[in-house]
Amino acid sequence: MTETLSVRALNRATLARQLLLAREPVPVTEAVGRLLGMQAQEPKPPFLGLWTRLDGFQASDLKKALQNRSLVRATMMRATLHLMTGADYTAFRTTMQPMLDGALRVLGDRAEGMDLKKVVPSARALLGQGPRTFNEVRALLQEQFPDVNDRALGYAVRLCVPLAMVPTQDRWGFPRTSQFTLADDWLGAAPSDEPALDELMLRYLAAYGPASGVDAQTWSGLPESGAALERLRPGLRVFNDDRGRELFDLPDAPRPGEDVAAPLRFLPEFDSLVLAHADRRRVIADAHRPLLTTKNLRVRAVFLWDGFAQGIWETEYKRKVATLRLRPFDPLPKAALDELTREGESLLRFLEPDAKETIVTLADD
């Protein structure tokens, strides 16, 4: 008979793989590899995501890994920017291409007259001359293809040319307007010629399992994710969730008991943990899920109490005063508020080391 895993059991299993049951003393590149990438639409969230997961993490650790190119910020899952190990990027970038090709459909009529067989080689030639911002890339391509929408040209290059963002010495590793370069030039190796969807799914389970085929597709954006898990079924453990749906997992992956303590943790905006499953009840209750995303599709920063998202948070820094405002979804016990204050003050010291005062408070509304 197939074992059923409760929502709480799934929570603890996923937290164990996401380095959220205890801060672990591992190098940043190893941590990002274990997480199979970190959502990185903006440069700061991965720094916070690693601070909350790693013992003794310093911002300089991540900046050094970006500079030595063991980590790279590039377009990957769901056609969004991720922080990846260089090895994972080269291994799985080709696997992502069908999804990236499909994402071009959002251009609609703006893609009229665009011939990718001409645009892609032209873009590679331009970027092969050296790093450029996308404003520069669009302008130069527009000179070559004056009848094609410049935004469509830029979007096509983002999706169809493997690119890496060039890190700088800016505080969070990248300036507001970053330069891009050819990923094979930056990493010294071209993406693998062959797709590796099955291997990607095994790595997904290691980082986010147990999970269903729909969960895997939600995380990756690849419609064939479920079929890959079916192919892998003979070598996997199969469970049911509380709604009778099949979940796949690696046989030897950690699945701690649901009574294992989960420490309070602050997650940054866009954290992959809250985006990696179709059924997100293992992290956030269905009733709270609409509060997670803003109208302009920003994914809010949440805090975990007893392993689950129990509210959102935001910071402000004015006149050397760093303030953390908590917005719980529901009233919290005093023990939770005490822990939030202690951990929140540590978070503020990491974010604003020059602050003369740190304040953790409940939002007025």
CA distances, 307 to each of 14, 16, 37, 251, 311 (Å): 10, 10, 21, 23, 12
Q: Strand, helix or coil at 82?
A: strand
pLDDT at 295: 84
DSSP 285: -
The token pair that represents 265 in the structure block: 């943790």
Q: Does pLDDT of 365 surpass 60?
A: no
The token pair that represents 346 in the structure block: 């540590």
Is it true that the peptide bond before 210 is cis, omega within 30 degrees of 0?
A: yes
Strand partners, 133: 179
Left if phi > 0, otherwise alpha if psi is -120 to 50, otherwise beta: which for 56? Answer: left
Query: In the chain, what percentage of residues exceed pLDDT 70?
Result: 100
Query: pLDDT confidence of 266, banded at 50, 70, 90?
Result: very high
pLDDT at 111: 84
Contact 319, 354 (CB under 8 A): no
CA distance 29 to 59: 13
pLDDT at 363: 86
DSSP 243: T
CA-nearest of 164, 185, 189 to 66 is 164
CA-nearest of 311, 325, 313 to 268 is 313
CA-nearest of 197, 236, 235 to 219 is 197
Kindly report the average pLDDT of the chain as a whole number: 96
User: Which pTM was predicted?
Assistant: 0.95
Q: Does pLDDT of 297 surpass 90?
A: no
- How do residues 204-214 score in pLDDT, each as one tens digit? 999 999 999 99
CA distance 234 to 227: 13
**103, HSE (Cβ side, Cα atoms, 13 Å):** 21
CA-nearest of 275, 203, 277 to 247 is 277
CA distance 9 to 347: 28
CA-nearest of 287, 360, 323, 299 to 49 is 299
The token pair that represents 106 in the structure block: 């959002």
Q: Does pLDDT of 364 surpass 80?
A: no
pLDDT at 305: 96
Query: In the chain, what percentage of residues exceed pLDDT 90?
Result: 95
pLDDT at 34: 98
CA distance 20 to 50: 10
